[in-house]
Amino acid sequence: MDNSILVVMKLSLLFGPLLIGFIGVGVNCYIAYRDLNAILGVFKKSNIVTSYGDVWGNGSFSARCVLASIVSGNVLFPRKHIRNGSLDPNELACLPASIKTRMRWSVGLMFFGVISLVGVVVVAEFLKWLAGA
């Protein structure tokens, strides 16, 4: 195989997961910019959302991005929060499906990007260890 093809393959293995993770971050930024006020408007009785929303809801753009990821995690994995009473299931049902879909994409892409990048690093270290042994 040509050496330049190997270099391109190695770079795509490294930067592919990073690109996927950054796309997830971009979707999260879109949620923070466009949808966060609607999300905070839906959750009036849910302590897990209002406690963070009161602190970071009117803050800087980066604070809103952090708030969007916290709320996305709470909305996508709600069992524990519903069980302990900090998330109202009726309000969760009122959240528009389009926003939930964007949250799924954001969390899924960021999670896939991080896990893939960790996998690439582990395989690279394993191959380095095999070459040294």
Summarised one tens digit per residue, pLDDT across range 56-73 is 778 889 999 999 998 998
| Distance (Å, whole) CA 55 – CA 97 | 26
Show me where the domains of the chain are located.
Answer: 16-132
DSSP for 22-67?
A: HHHHHHHHHIIIIIHHHHHHH-SS-HHHHHHHHHHTTS-HHHHHHH
pLDDT of residue 48: 80
3-state secondary structure of 28: helix
Judged against a pLDDT cut of 70, whether residue 11 lies above it is answered with yes
Residue 106's Cα: distance from chain center in Å?
5
